[in-house]
Structure 1
């Protein structure tokens, strides 16, 4: 036997000897763990950061020892299980790419690319031309149409290719009988927990994900029945990969357990490092990067969907829709009426979430993707100027911020306009705010306030155009599964270019939130939104509506102001709040509410200043320094309550209008 053959045999024997057939390890933090790191990955005080505020990079962290996955090339792959805690810190309103658990032939991934290849694959992998065997479970936060991604928040199983063999929107089931998973946002200030098991006998892989504080759900999110033996070498390595693009997040690991031929140990949450915080609070990015990326990625999809919509309209007479030439540009944002009809069970009353002067809102599930949506069904009486209205709706569909309810698209049929939003499982804030059985504690309210302020700041300064919401109020703030506040309902919003003057428009909004200058200028500006936000601040803190139409003519702004004059402003806090209350935060919120409610729009702070005050980046000056008086806060036309100028409200429709003899073209909604 030649010397070369002897050396090759020795290497094989050595590698097999070091490989572990009964691997079992648990890392509650990585303080003394010697993982194999490469790319941008680093160990920072027991936390593995795979990426860190850098564009177009990859990061890997692998267990250093090889693991025996098959006893011989002809035998089936053995069973294994793993559990880990990870997080994706938002560094940008749009987010970046995701993180993956990886089984690979070596403790690094040479040739792997960032962006949609997730630091695992490359261009040859798409067509399965890559000779390596790689299995990955991806937690992806970017929609890549070329890889058949379903959305920008999904979990997928990848085998030798970045195109998943199975995927689902990220979420979890409450129990075995739960028909639909509850949404779970991957990009979050909170960590997420994952369990992955492969049964070598049943040839079944299960993937389960939940919030850190939750127990393991009994029903997995993904169950793939497939023999992995052809895709596993005898000896493989396990680890993690993450990647960024032109827009980036920070990806981290807090703990990891793994076991061959058995159940991996549960991580001890009390021993894990503390979840890292977002050190970059200013989430504004170059607007060309924020808007340009989804536009470029959606261009190819645009042509395909336009053709599909035209074909559908011609053939489906039962669900015939209007389609005019000017709408062809909005193809990717237009939903098929048939899909929305079946998603809502024919707009069944059982799916009804609420109704108002502008129409009804229904819960739905898109049959093809199982994604939960909310569909607002509006009659033609509620919207005019269809081309201009749809153009602005589609434009606002490109808004991306974690504290804005995502407007997904629209559908137009006969005299109906249907707007499609992401579904918020906890409903509107006002329903919890005025619920006598269950109330929000102060920390939950303050988190919601800061979230809405961040979203409104993005509308005013963070997008390519200025967006004036025109109807900031508690009923238009929706809550996700984790009670994060998201500003929604852009049906009244208006857009204009940065640096330009807004156009005059109808006086629309909700009584108690309308800025006084709207009555005579008919112009909406950032300052009018700030006034509404001031009323919102006081409403959330005090648990009272801005205006009560009764004999006492209650006006919340004046009521809180009188408490401030006596030096007892914190006494105006909602008495139903349970638990601990941070009275410094209460005082800050109420004083800021009064400052935003100034009659003089020039004296109100900008939303940038509001966010700085709430985050304690800047100390808010004392109210006395602004010269605020009762006259500068008095509700407009207070002396004419119940008179001709003051609106009347219909309890049957919830719609409020001014007397047209006083102010033609006015249209105020008392609740939508």
Structure 2
């Protein structure tokens, strides 16, 4: 007690009052949390342990997605339920407390190209133990039987319908359009809204994100549906809400999940991801008596005081450290002292802008971590937030390098760094939002087919960015990780180079620089692999590989390709030597391309990816040829052997003691592990 008395002297009256309030809050929170009930889950791969399918619904064993109706388009009058395996406590009769809940899910309604649609999908809540009603296919949305007794409380429901087919029969009154509606014990929605973009999503089988939220204090049931495939700032969305007293329609415990149905017309109903959170406070009379008995116990109060005091002291110390900057990494603070331009953002702002880094905000994922889309009100713009995972290749050193380097660069073909954050042991970078993602997502993942004029424009844009980095800025910037997944595309498909975590600054007069091996296999120049040297010339090699990928529509290394076509550079060079270089062009281009531009792009790609660095052009030379300000080069008809390999071919290298030295050869590189897996957009 002497220790406590002496320590309490450091607090003034306001602090002591705050401490007493804290003690009472801790006690109340302890009892309340002990009696709170809720459900919290996030699922992207579904299984039959978590999901209870009924009727025609099933968890697809190959995709682990939920199919709510029959997948055979020839099958009509299909219906299905997919519910969570545990019931939810919706409200507590003893206290009158009602649960708050939020659910987010991604679904697809696919008419398989037909303009005539089936009946739709719902998210619903029904009394615990309810079963899929009989004869509830078609316009009944797998929720209502034709002979249903409205007075039977066990048949009650609250649902949100996503309905592509207007129904105005059997007592159901729908708006004459694809719509979203809120249904309370009746399929005639109490509130609904036409969704003009819904029809196109159904025909194309596109994804839709939905968020349904219930606020028990306001009784507000709100629905937001968003076009998950849209890009840019003009994203399709629709929202409705209704005031709903849940206790009027449903009992304390409910079953919840999804339903879908078809009639004479068919369509596929697929659930691809599902998140759910609920919470209700259940504090009965016994709990209240227990609370007062606890508060009357002196030993418990003393324990709470000691714990609260320790917590308060530590919290005060943390607050002082935060104010003085002690809880930030001093190395990073020192690195950023001279940085101007990008601003520091708070972690709280980034959490808010991404809805707590929600899965539907995910833009891309790679070895560094994840990139999320966010909207920052302070800059009034959408942004891409790169959240670096602990233990990734981009640690504190690379993080600081990227901030220091890119913050000083200004060019239309470079991704702009807007800000940074390092709080709570998190490293985050904030970039301008690039609505069309990364180049590799279009070339290899078929996100959008790139017509030839866009491809050539992208090649010229990358060349312009490299010309600025290598020759036009005050120092030469060696990027060291140029690849198609690091090239971003804005709303007009202008190319912008990103990811400067591995970049190095060198004097313009210097040549090769010895560095630790870095980059991505396949895009790395031979000298980087053999002797660990990176330079402007090694950047040129990577650039050449990307140009070939743009023209050919395939990865630099494709293990499944035919013999002789596995390595892109080797294959295209062989075709060049036999006068058939245009045969390497992506077949989907057909004849819709400028032959002169296509040949130019491929020849410059081979020139830049010359195995010997002295055989490669400067970026200015390549830039001039791409813009037809200089003639293309005449290259050797056979792929040259790198200098370091030529010496290996002629004789084995030996050390001064006569011991044979292990060296790289072309065959060993081909058989080594190559990072040929393209990352998702924003691999920065």
Normalised to the residue count of structure 1, the TM-score between the two structures is: 0.47
Higher-Rg structure is: 2
